[in-house]
Amino acid sequence: MLDPAAASLDDLATPAAILDRTRLDRNLARLAARMTDLGVTLRPHMKTAKSIDVARRAFPNGPGPITVSTLAEADYFAGHGSRDMTYAVGIAPHTASRAMSLRKAGVDIKVLLDTVEQAAFLAEAGRAVGVTPAAFIEIDCDGHRGGLRVDDPALLDVAAALTDGGVLLAGVLTHAGESYALHTPEALVSAAENERAVAVKAAERLRAAGHQCPVVSVGSTPTAHCAAGLDGVTEVRAGVYMFFDLVMHGVGVCSTDDIALSVLSTVIGAKPEKRWIMIDAGWMALSRDRGTSSQRVDQGYGLVCDLEGRIYPDLIVAYASQEHGTLAIRSGSSEPLPDLPVGSKVRILPNHACATASQHERYHVVAGQSAVIEAQWPRIRGW
C-alpha cells in the first residue's frame, strides 16, 4: 500500500525501491542525444522501468515508440496512449492472439518470430479478428539466444510464409546479448559493429529476394552506447540504460554515479565476531541476480550506500536469504566495517536493475542526494 506519511527516506518502511530522478533524466538525455547524433530512432525498452511515469520522462511531448517484453506491459502502455510498440519476445499462439486484439484496438504492435510455424499461427490470429499482423524476423548476431543466422536458408522461408499468410514483414530485429559479457571499449565497439553489420546484411538478403524490409532494429544498452556508426540501421532499442546497474558498470558503460535505482533497507542486527551487519532486504527485495559474479569485480548481491547515496568503500551484500541480507567487507579488502547500529538505513545499488525493480510495486522518487520523497510511481507487473 502507499505510505502517505513517508515524506522522506527516514520515514519510509523498508525494503523499498528508490529512484533518483536526477540520474534517470541524465541517463535518458545521454542516450537520446547519442541516437540523434547517429541519425536513428530510439525505441526505449520499457521492460526495465515498466512505469508510465518513467516513459513520460523519456517522451515529455507525448507517447513515442517503445519496446515491451510482456503483453501486460503492452496493455498497460496502450491504456496510457502508446500506439507504436514492438513486442520483442518470440510469440506463442496465445500471445499472438492477445497482440492481435491490441492491433484491432488501434495499437500498431509488431511481434517477433523466427519460424514458419509462428508465421502460420500469427496469420491465423490476424484473420480471427480481422486485422493484418506485422512481424519482425529475429536475427541471431552472436549466438546469445534466439533468432536465425543471417545465412540460414530458413530466413527466406519465414519471410515467404509471412507474405503468403498476409502478414506484413516489418523488418529484422537483433540483440547483441553477448555484449553484457564484455568489458573493454574495443570489444564493445566490435560487438556493436557486428550487431549492425549482421542486421543490415539480413535486411539486404531479404530485399534481394523481393521482400520489403523497412525497419532494421538493433540494440542492447552496451552496444547502443558504444556503436561507432549505425549505417543501414533505422532504430535502436535499449532498456536498462534508464536506470543502469552494477553489471553495466562492470561492462564499462556507466559509473556508479549513474545508477538511478537503489533499494532502501534497515539494519536489523549484527554478528561482530563475523564482521557481519544484517539488513531487512534479502533476495525478495534485491533479486537473486548475481550478474557481477563473472565480472572482474564481484559485487555480491549489491553495493551498499548511505542514505544520501554515497558508497561505503568495499561494503557489499555478501549473502542473501529470503528476507535477510548480510553486509560484509569484500574479501581481500582492508576497509573497516562502518558503524551501522540497528535502525540505521542504507541503500543498495543492484546488480541487475530489471530484476531488482521487478520485486517492487512502485518507485519512491528522490532527486540527487535529497532524502525527500517527491512522488511514488507505480509500475506494472505480470505477463
Give the model's pLDDT for residue 247. 98
CA–CA distance from 315 to each of 118, 200, 331, 333, 353 (Å)? 48, 45, 10, 9, 19
Give the model's pLDDT for residue 24. 98
For residue 290, the SS3 value is coil
pLDDT tens per residue across span 100-127: 999 999 999 999 999 999 999 999 999 9
Q: DSSP code of 273?
A: G
| Residue 6 pLDDT class (50, 70, 90 cuts) | confident
| Residue 144 pLDDT class (50, 70, 90 cuts) | confident
Taking phi over 0 as left and psi of -120 to 50 as alpha, with beta for the rest, 242 belongs to: alpha
Give the model's pLDDT for residue 2. 46
Q: DSSP code of 15?
A: S
Cell of 293: 559474479
For residue 360, the SS3 value is coil
Domain chopping of the chain, boundaries? 40-242, 260-378
Residue 77: other Cβ atoms inside 10 A:
22
Buried b / exposed e along 326-348 (16+ C-beta atoms within 10 A): bbbbbeeeeeebeebeeebbbbb
pLDDT at 10 over 70: yes
pLDDT tens per residue across span 19-78: 999 999 999 999 999 999 999 999 999 999 999 999 999 999 999 999 999 999 999 999
21, 374 contact by CB (below 8 A): yes
d(CA 73, CA 82): 11
Buried b / exposed e along 166-179 (16+ C-beta atoms within 10 A): ebebbbbbbbbbbb
Cell of 326: 548480510
Question: What is the share, in percent, of the chain residues with pLDDT greater than 70?
Answer: 99
- Report which residue type is found at 287: S
Work out whether strand 362-366 and strand 16-20 pair parallel, antiparallel, or are unpaired: parallel
pLDDT at 153 over 50: yes
CATH architecture, domain defined by 260-378: Beta Barrel (2.40)
pTM, entire model = 0.96
The CATH classification of domain 40-242, taken from the options 3.40.50.150, 3.40.50.300, 3.20.20.10, 3.30.365.10: 3.20.20.10
pLDDT at 194 over 60: yes
Q: Which residue has the cell 553484457?
A: 180
pLDDT tens per residue across span 331-372: 999 999 999 999 999 999 999 999 999 999 999 999 999 999
